[in-house]
Amino acid sequence: MKKLPQQLVLFIYAAIIILPFSMVLFATFKTTPELYKNPLGMPESWSFANYQDLFLKESMVTYFMNSVIVTGVSVVCIIFFASLIAYAIIRMPKKAGLALFGFFVVGMMVPTQVNMIPIYLLVNKLGMLDTLRGVIFVSIGFLIPIAVFILTGFMKTLPDGLIEAAKIDGASEWQTYLRVVMPLSLPSVATVVIFAFVIVWNDLLYPLLLLKSSEVKTLPIALLDFQGQYLTNYPMIFAGVIIASIPMIVAYVFLQRYFVAGMTAGSVKG
Amino acid sequence: MQSNNNVERVGGARVASPYVASTAKKRKKKWNWALFFFVLPGFIIYSVFFAGPTVAALFLSFTDWNGIAPTFNYVGFSNYTNMLTDDPIFVQSLGNNLKFTLGVLIFQTVLSLFFAMLLVKNTKANIFYRAVYFFPTIVASVSVAFVWTFMYDPNIGVINNILSAVGLESLAKSWLGDRNIAIYSLAFVQFWAHTGQMLIIFVAGLHAIPKELYEAAEIEGASKWQTFKSITWPLLAPSATIVVAYTTIQSFKAFDLVIAMTGGGPSYATEILSTFLYHEAFINFRFGYASAAAVIFMIIIAIVTVLQFRLLKSNDVKF
């Protein structure tokens, strides 16, 4: 059993983390004057008026679906392309594999803000400005390095004999990848899925840069616009925050172990 | 039989099977053209949408392009020299970035280590606390930013209200409006959002330390502080290196928080490198100049990353 002062410290810090979130959740059921009068406490009544207003005044469903599409397509492509690359790296002659690994992994050092100007120009040139496609391609491009890094690291630890055995049984590279290596790599795939999911779902920079019209906005960028639009109508803004966070919270509650692994594996990249 | 896969018994003598011989030969892997197609899609997207633009940023940094004009001139290193010698806003951004990063680094590293040591055992209560502390990490920084913009609000905000409720009105401030403290108010939010993440890295590091070492220390009658100083700390060095480097890099990139909370204001008091180059590029349309800032930014991050790998290598503790 811990000593009392330790218990107290842990409890206080937990309160510092939880209070702002409970404040936000309660606020979404309050009116603005009520929030100003009583910011931390429970709402007087559990009214869904703010959520209703938000869905009536804003195309929340569109924003939500845009986020789902961008995140879903990006994550699937990242996993597919990066795992193919990782497989090829462990299968090719050592020196070539190392060179290829280096080419991808060096991208982990580059902060996303560094190449935003050329990316903006490129996406504009390709006619993909203001399209979800543009954001998807860019997101895949910048997350492939970390995905290759994690997946190669894992696949390298698989015993060589397994792959050789598949070869001897006459399996092609594609079959070996799909039937032998991928099923065994599921733990690292889960790590990458979570990591990429959190980054793309929450990403502000690329949507801010590449999306302008409201039909293509993703949730973070829509939230940023609410701030300008509803100024001090915090209950409404907070309702948006809750809606944007729901998928993440649900996933976190059920897949907490993978989240911790995923976000810690990312400790090489932010 | 499964276990007989590698070695067959032939007339009592152990003979390597053809299978083993073939793996030994295949140690030297051969090119298979299928692998080329495996690499291709990812290679193209990464090259076109990430690696290429990075090189292009380097190229643009030597020009005076404004992003609209059809032509531009090569200006050599003048973007760099102007920025470093004659741009108070750039210098201020760099300074703000240092204040922000140092503030986060010190508090986040010390406190995450402190909490990790309290929560190292895998008891139910500890796992619950770790999950709670970790939680802000997964919430979008835009959302975190809004939560804290409200907490910090000088009139209706929670912090000033709490302060006046406990009779400390004198400490109430315009947390984001005061030039002198705004950057630290932002640093606190960054710290609040990511301490739980660093804690997890430390907990993993602590779990990797062999228990026998602690038992030995206890038998020797070492004090708690001695145990920490001569066992925990040296063996935790790799985790500490990761935490320090990660925190530094993450703080340099705190773009979302600044954009959503202060936009770099009041009067550039919270402008950091990443927002400086965003504003130079997309508000002032100085693409060449902003690219030079981007390259400087990249060099700083590269130095931190390389230092991290160096330290991790030399830190390889053997026991």
CB-CB under 8 Å, B147 with A20:
yes
- Check CB contact of B184 with chain A, cutoff 8 Å: no
Looking at the partner chain, which of A111, A204, A209 has a beta carbon nearest the beta carbon of B142? Answer: A204
- Chain A CB contacts of B260 under 8 Å are 204, 224, 227
Is residue A195 within 8 Å of residue A146, measured between CB atoms? yes
Residue B3 has pLDDT above 50, yes or no: no
Chain B nearest C-alpha distance from A68 (Å): 15
Residue B177 has pLDDT above 90, yes or no: no
Compute CA distances A14 → A10, A19, A115, B137, B240, whole Å: 6, 8, 38, 14, 23
Q: What pLDDT digit, counting tens, does each position of A221-265 carry?
A: 998 888 888 777 888 889 999 999 998 888 888 887 777 777 666
Structural domains of chain A, with CATH: 65-214+251-268 (1.10.3720.10)
CB-CB under 8 Å, A81 with B41:
yes
Is the ipTM beyond the 0.95 threshold?
no
CA B298 to chain centre: 14
Q: What is the chain B residue with the closest CA to A203?
A: B140
Listed range (A236-240, B240-244, B308-312) with the worst mean pLDDT: B308-312
The H-or-E segment that residue B111 falls in is helix B88-118
Helix/strand/coil for B16: strand
Is residue A78 within 8 Å of residue A188, measured between CB atoms? no
Chain A nearest C-alpha distance from B213 (Å): 22
Would you report the helix, strand and coil content of chain B in percent, each value rounded to 5?
70, 5, 25
Q: What pLDDT digit, counting tens, does each position of B192-225 carry?
A: 999 998 998 888 888 888 888 888 888 888 888 8
- Check CB contact of A133 with chain B, cutoff 8 Å: no
Q: Residue B160 — very low, low, confident or very high, per pLDDT cuts 50/70/90?
A: confident
Listed range (A31-35, A124-128, B23-27) with the worst mean pLDDT: B23-27
- Check CB contact of A101 with chain B, cutoff 8 Å: no
How far apart CA A21 and CA A245 sit, in angstroms, is 11
Number of A:B CB contacts under 8 A?
A: 258
How far apart CA B237 and CA A146 sit, in angstroms, is 23
Helix/strand/coil for A155: helix
Residue A69 has pLDDT above 90, yes or no: yes
Phi, psi dihedrals of residue A183, rounded to the nearest 5°: -60, -35
Residue A111 has pLDDT above 90, yes or no: no
- Check CB contact of A261 with chain B, cutoff 8 Å: no
Listed range (A256-265, B244-253, B286-295) with the worst mean pLDDT: A256-265
**What DSSP line would sit under B218-274, residue for residue?**
HHTT--HHHHIIIIIHHHHHHHHHHHHHHHHHHHHT-HHHHHHHTTT-STTTT--HH
- Could you give the maximum distance between any two Cα atoms of chain B, in Å? 94
- Check CB contact of B136 with chain A, cutoff 8 Å: yes
- B268-291 burial by CB neighbour count: b if 16+ within 10 A, else e? bbbbbbbbbbbbbbbeeebbbbbb
How far apart CA A23 and CA A185 sit, in angstroms, is 41
Q: Which residues make Cβ contacts (< 8 Å) with residue A194, sequence separation at least 6?
A: A251, A255, A258, A259, A261, A262, A263
- Chain A CB contacts of B197 under 8 Å are 263-264, 267
Structural domains of chain B, with CATH: 83-314 (1.10.3720.10)
Mean pLDDT of B297-310: 85
- Check CB contact of B79 with chain A, cutoff 8 Å: no
Taking chain B, what is the end-to-end CA distance rounded to the nearest angstrom?
39
Is residue B185 within 8 Å of residue B160, measured between CB atoms? no
Q: pLDDT value at position B28? A: 58
Residue A15 has pLDDT above 50, yes or no: yes
Looking at the partner chain, which of A10, A93, A174 has a beta carbon nearest the beta carbon of B34? Answer: A174
Interface of B with A in 256-295 (CB under 8 A): 256, 259-260, 274, 277-278, 281-282, 287, 290-291, 294-295
Chain B nearest C-alpha distance from A164 (Å): 7
CB-CB under 8 Å, B204 with A21:
no
